[in-house]
Structure 1
């Protein structure tokens, strides 16, 4: 899967040495049963599905099944939580999972038939001249078969469901479980064990010692195990802090942000300055007897007018109302010179609580990582006796990504072990395969996972199919989750991509994603290496990455990813009816024709098939038998010249990727029959596209056309009313691209790149004054014919927030109506040497917060901060970045003197 590159392999995870809440012999994938039940019920209750199944004649057969399914679903959350201590319950869940898997197949068969009937009604038969009366497509035969299968599924589910009362399960309809987090922390620290945090300590102390008119709240943010608590301890115990703050209080928030309980903890801290040392069962009991008013009165007597430092360690609460209630109370009682230091894993919580920018705690340097590892792996000075082990140690610490707890975990596991093979075992295995104790790195990270809602858990687990350091793009993540049914299909006014983006923002807010960049039309990001290890652990046996180390393939594996080009044995794809995904996420790793025919295409229940970067010359005609496919990636197959027309019989297909197939002579006939298609990406040698067929794709939201060198014109008179994203790139002979606002009412993002001959008439007869578009982001790049902005840009005055113009060597002037773009937030202009001016009313772009001008020499000179001719027009902008050539940097220096 070419645009992004997914991850590695299966699991024999750390079983015997883990505490009971982590080393269950059950695969973590059993935790996803609730999501499967939700997905099945969502499908059965949708109005469209109800109408269609009534038409086919199987609606009544589904009702008893839906009733039992709903009843079972209600106890699944409780069952998932209790399964790890109950072997019989685990087995019960496995039976449920098998029934659900078979039910998914039956409902998919129904969906395929529903879609086939729609195509037949609209376009005639989906097949060429084939008799169908006695085939399984015949309505009477199909209805009979489905009724029998549904009856069998219902009986099996009834039989298994009857056992639910044996386990004393409670009914929980929504995933609102309170998750036990970490043990209580305390303020004591052994400074010699905290290596490499001197710089961070000084930065935090500097913030704490600054004078401010109000109580300051300083958040420290980082993933679990990064050393946030240790850093807070170092600061708390520093002599300068002790002298500056007469009252210091350390509160471990962790499990609950209960207002009353926090008041009690703070009161208990005020006597001795530390909860651990002042703990008194009698005193605490007395405090517990007080009501809220009495607690506030007691606290007022303790801290009234005092300058205090309050540490709130390990905060998970994202309820702003609760936080403001506590903060306002403390501000009212204590000195306004007081400070609050917060540690949290969540950037969102940090932003909510902080009065200053969050302090993002980074990993240790390689040098400090090695020093910390040596402290935990050897007795003092002992490392000098083992130079060979030290060489291995340098390689081991690299896999820890500078996370202190990961370093401590691996170092401690090797303490007093001096055999080279024991050290090599740790070096050569991923962290998730190694033994872990309760406070080691993976159990600590799993606390963050346990706290997530169930729908996010399943989505996060899918990242395990991609390699470390893979750069994800939100559009492809959306296609992946959508194809696997992990996104709700019926959310009003929201597309699957909108919902996926919402999920990604949630994951980012919980520190599961890093290097997160918003590029206007979506996001790109990475997964931290240790979070990647966590994803592999929670998805084990369900998601498997195949490489040379894979030996035993789980029997019911659902998702496979191949990470090596030449497999020693081509039989690595198991004979399994549960297989839903085959991916080749690493660039230049694909399949040959023999492997495709013998090992891939025999899996008729696949949802996702990635055949990118492969070497076959054509696809077999029977590709249409994979009728459950939602996602088909054929990108960068540089040998394929033609595709069978039968590919257009894949009525469930949502994503079809053909970009980079530079030898493809013609697109398959009948594209309009792909009635579920949402994302289409094309490369072809054709002079013109079958635009009328594309226009009939009623759900198409993303269209990408690239490397189509013979293409001469696009969108002459056709309407694409559902299209949200349009990308046109590297079409060197494209001359005409008609963007008519009336024909693209939903378009939000457009990127046009590398079209040397593309002309931009100054006026279109398209009624721009009367027709509004919803464009949010426009990216115009490497377009030598572009002199000014196209007129259709003006039709998005109330929505456009990002405009990028790059490498347009003849771009000379902005139109007079630029200031009408009242929502424009970001403007980037790069490599436009002929652009000399900004409009006189540029200062009217009051929403503009970021302006970047790079390698536009004439314009840059006029925008020099403080002295440039245009500086008064842009000085109101929050962030201005001007690329300043050497010959006028001296002017800036003089102006600043």
Structure 2
């Protein structure tokens, strides 16, 4: 596979080496001059990497050259990590004494002079390797490109013709779009909108263009719109080019003298001709395959076409939800879904067999049903796999395709993975690496943004752009970027975090681009690339001893599947050899003991001198102590997430402690807890509060000082009989309320309706809950209501049929199921 995101690695190394903080750190450690020489060599190679990445598809030798550079970059990152660690070590020793106590085990006690010598030697070796590879730069004829402004090759130009009988499963979608075309859209300020824009949104291969063709060629549409224009936008949103296509729809396909003269006209003359063509005409304009996110360009075109008659319409097809939002005027863009299993099979049969011959091969049809599970209703994927089997009737060949993953199948330029990869190629380089790491989770995984942010942060992919932002803030921005590209689905915006999934084919794309960097290990895995950086284990009982373990460069080890975790044999065979490990997931571990370098749960006491962990961002505590070492915890100024779980003897929390950066506080299973101050003095940045297993609410303090009331955005409650009355003090800021596993909860408090900012209400596993507040209509900001496994609520509020359904039918998104 072609080497990817090398430029972004070079960029991050360059930025780090050039930063003032890092220059100071390198002086402290004593390797400043060595790193400056490395930076110069890096800059020499970096200058041609963008050109090399674009040209590598045509040269296997160039791919190998890039692969060698990437391996050198990874080693360079590891060396810079050592500089970071040594700098922190010196800071801790300076602030808190020598490292010869118990906490000193976390740190190396190596002689600084020896360390400096070894590190300088490693840097020189990396520079030597880089210079040797860089010497081959010129033989590839590479150009110097300093800024990532690469032009992504989009699809070929599209056309409006379609044979309707060849299209399967889109009659309902066609009907919906035509209805939008035919109905006027009321605008409160200007009566009827002059021109309305209807976006059709979805990721590559769903059939957006095909649906637009069906609508464009419908007889009712032709009758209603005397003037119709189909414009294939794709690569460019150049105003002059778009005007030409609208004035003369044949301008792309003919080259007569008259049409050539049009191209020679100045933009001023062209815009006059455009206005003459459209003025007073009720027109339908289809802008197919739009990638432009520059609103100024869109507004410019919008003004030029606004001379059309009342009721003129524009249909836009795009992969980007942000483009749909920018251009659309209807209430919601039309999000195109996949085909049903029945329609998928009909389409598959059409591409896999000659007409009428499918009846001869019932066994192949059954295998075809299993093959279609890979496609998840995406028409282009169905076509890709169906056409690859055309006129092939050997059952073993069909079974072979069924058992292969899509990324291992041959792909033509217009097949599903290349079509999806256009969206990936269009991403900024920093998003590509983050997207690749999503391949470490199995298909159908339910993601949460905290977990993803932790992984991305540990991998060094979340650079902080300002002091006001945390790594989670940056991760959320990246996730919003993925949403805008239709790469995420089933997204639940909970205010301070997200739940989401990714389509199976998007997962296939992530695996495809992350090959050799990320690897998901299961019982079928026979070998692991020696240069892999991130590993994910999705099955218990894997034969670790039979798999190569000389993987010292591994940076992440995950166990993302519930109830499947690391064993002691795994830790002994793998983890202790991973010198550069940044992320280790030990949830659901079967270990009874852990190496001293990792730690353990169910502690008798929290380790002494916790304050030495000066960069710690997340801390989870389970201890038998009645009082925590608050003086140490108060020194953790970088702490963003604190979880205090199952501390059965703990009586109080944080009367004297101030945690300036804490965003999330989780408290659960602390049966002896008597007090917890919740105010801005102790937690000035707190946004998310999760509480579970509280027998009474006496310890939840209500702040008497209105200026000190927390501005909580999210509250998660579980294992409660009643909801704490004190929580209503957050009515003006609370956006998300999650109530789960409250098995004895029967009634929701009436004050719930006072939550004026509430956008997301989620309730699950509350079987005795009888009803929602009678005045739930007062929650005017509520956009999403999800009720799962609340037996008594389901019957009363079942969509369309429940007796209380009218009380909640106004809510934009409802999900009520058993």
**TM-score when scaled to structure 1?**
0.82
CA distance in 2 between counterparts of 1:852 and 1:435 reads: 44
Q: Matched residues in 2 for 1:603 and 1:591: separation?
A: 15
- Superposition pairs of residues 252-263 of structure 1, within 5 angstroms: 252-263=232-243
Deviation at 1:559, TM superposition (A): 1.4
Q: Which residues of structure 1 form unaligned runs of 5+? A: 1-26, 625-642, 645-660, 862-870, 885-897
Is 2:521 aligned against 1:546? yes
- Bigger shift: residues 465-474 or 598-607: 598-607
Choose the corresponding residue for 1:433, options 397, 408, 413. Answer: 408
Output one character per residue of 1:112-137: Cα deviation in whole Å (capped at 9) or x when no partner. 111111222233333448999xx972
Matched, 1:232 2:212: yes
1:129-154, Cα deviation, whole Å (9 max, x unpaired): 8999xx97222222222222222322
8 Å contact from structure 1 (residues 458, 486) kept in 2: yes
**Residue of structure 1 equivalent to 2:317:** 343
- Give the secondary structure class of the aligned counterpart of 2:636: coil
Q: Distance in 1 between matches of 2:783 and 2:174?
A: 32
1:566 aligns with 2:541: yes
Deviations, residues 806-850 of structure 1 (Å, cap 9, x unaligned): 8566875649xx97x8866567899888998989xx98x9x8455
State how 1:81-230 maps to structure 2 within 5 Å: 81-128=54-101, 137-212=110-185, 213=192, 214-230=194-210
1:150-549 matches, within 5 Å, as 150-212=123-185, 213=192, 214-269=194-249, 279-332=254-307, 334-356=308-330, 357-549=332-524
Q: Deviations over 1:686-720 (max 9, x none)?
A: 43433333222121101122344443332232111
> Counterpart in 1 of 2:5?
32
Cα deviation, 1:280-330, whole Å, max 9, x if unaligned, reads 443332111011111111122222211111111111111111111111211
SS at match of 2:27: helix
In structure 2, relative to structure 1, the CA distance for the partners of 1:267 and 1:131 (3 Å cut) is: closer
Q: CA deviation at 1:450?
A: 0.8
**Measured at CA, do residues 826 and 163 of structure 1 come closer, stay the same or move farther in structure 2, by a change above 3 Å?**
same
Match of 1:679 in 2: 618
The one-character-per-residue Cα deviations of 1:742-774 (angstroms, maximum 9, x if unpaired) are: 11111122122332244256755xx62343644
CA distance in 2, matches of 1:190, 1:602: 61
Contact 1:35 1:455 in 2 (8 A): yes
Structure 1 residues 537 and 529: alpha-carbon distance in aligned structure 2, compared to 1, 3 A threshold: same
Match of 2:803 in 1: none
**2:51 counterpart of 1:78:** yes
- In structure 1, what is the Cα distance between the partners aligned to 2:546 and 2:239? 59
Task: List per-residue Cα deviations over 1:204-223 (Å, max 9, x = no partner).
Answer: 11111223532121111111
CA contact 1:267–1:302 (8 Å) conserved in 2: yes
Q: Which residue of 1 aligns with 2:673?
A: 734
Structure 1 CA distance for aligned equivalents of residues 521 and 693 of structure 2: 37
Give 1:803-818 correspondences, 5 Å limit: 814=751
Structure-1 residue corresponding to 2:189: none
Would the aligned equivalents of 2:687 and 2:711 in 1 still touch at CA under 8 Å? yes
Match for 1:754 among 685, 693, 711?
693
- The one of 636, 639, 661 equivalent to 1:722 is 661
Give the direction of change, closer, same or farther, for the CA distance of 1:152–1:881 in structure 2 (3 Å limit): closer
Task: Compute the TM-score of the two structures, normalised by the length of structure 2.
Answer: 0.89
After superposition, the Cα gap between the structure-2 partners of 1:280 and 1:606, relative to the gap in structure 1 and judged at 3 Å, is same
The alpha carbon displacement at 1:253 in A equals: 0.4
**Partners of 1:759 and 1:786 within 8 A in 2:** no
Aligned counterparts of 1:882 and 1:380: Cα–Cα separation in 2: 43
Q: Deviations over 1:838-891 (max 9, x none)?
A: 89xx98x9x845596999999xx9xxxxxxxxx9xx99x98499999xxxxxxx
Q: Closer, same or farther in 2 for the Cα pair 1:78/1:761, shift >3 Å? A: closer
Query: 1:573 touches 1:599 (CA, 8 Å); kept in 2?
Result: no
Q: CA, structure 1 residues 233+789, in 2 after alignment: closer, same or farther (shift >3 Å)?
A: same
Deviation, structure 1 residue 235: 1.2
**Between 137-146 and 400-409, the greater mean CA deviation after superposition:** 137-146
Secondary structure of 2:644 counterpart: strand
CA distance in 2, matches of 1:536, 1:227: 23
SS in 1 for 2:639: coil
Please, which of 676, 696, 704 is the counterpart of residue 643 of structure 2?
Answer: 704
Query: CA separation in 2, counterparts of 1:114 and 1:98?
Result: 25
8 Å contact kept, 1:77–1:175: yes
Distance in 2 between the 1:585 and 1:593 partners? 18
Cα deviation digits, residues 513-538 of structure 1 (max 9, x gap): 11111012211111110001011111
Distance 1:227 1:812, change over 3 A: closer
CA spacing shift, 1:203–1:539, aligned 2, 3 Å? same
Change (3 A) 1:166 1:739: same
How much has 1:586 moved relative to structure 2?
1.4
Deviation, structure 1 residue 607: 1.6
Alignment length, in residue pairs?
A: 790
Aligned equivalents of 1:434 and 1:392: distance in 2?
17
- Whether the 8 Å contact between 1:254 and 1:314 is mirrored in structure 2 is yes
State the distance in 1 between where 2:76 and 2:813 align.
57
The structural deviation recorded for 1:726 is 1.0
Q: Deviations over 1:500-551 (max 9, x none)?
A: 1000000110011111110122111111100010111111111111122223
Deviation of residue 345 (structure 1)?
Answer: 0.9
| 1:456 CA drift (Å) | 0.6
SS in 2 for 1:789: helix
Cα contact 1:475–1:522 (8 A) shared by 2:
yes
* Worse overlay, 474-483 or 736-745: 736-745
Do the aligned partners of 1:778 and 1:803 also contact (CA within 8 Å) in 2?
A: yes
**C-alpha RMSD of the superposition:** 3.4
Alpha-carbon distance between aligned partners in 1 of 2:119 and 2:664, rounded to the nearest angstrom? 39
How far does residue 275 in structure 1 lie from its aligned partner after superposition? 6.1
Return closer, same or farther for 1:468/1:161 CA change in 2, 3 Å cut-off.
same
Secondary structure of the residue that 2:4 maps to in structure 1? Answer: helix
- For residues 543 and 319 of structure 2, the distance between their equivalents in structure 1, rounded to whole angstroms, comes to 42
- 3-state DSSP of counterpart to 1:312: strand
Q: Measured at CA, do residues 435 and 129 of structure 1 come closer, stay the same or move farther in structure 2, by a change above 3 Å?
A: closer
Q: CA deviation at 1:587?
A: 1.5
SS of the residue aligned with 1:736?
A: coil
Higher mean displacement: 115-124 or 424-433: 115-124
**After the TM superposition, which of the residue ranges 182-191 and 542-551 deviates more from structure 2?**
542-551
Contact 1:734–1:757 (8 Å) recurs in 2: no
1:23 is matched with which residue?
A: none
- Find out whether 1:591 has 2:530 as its counterpart: no
| C-alpha distance in 2 between matches for 1:563 and 1:805 | 30
Question: Which range is displaced more, 590-599 or 403-412?
Answer: 590-599
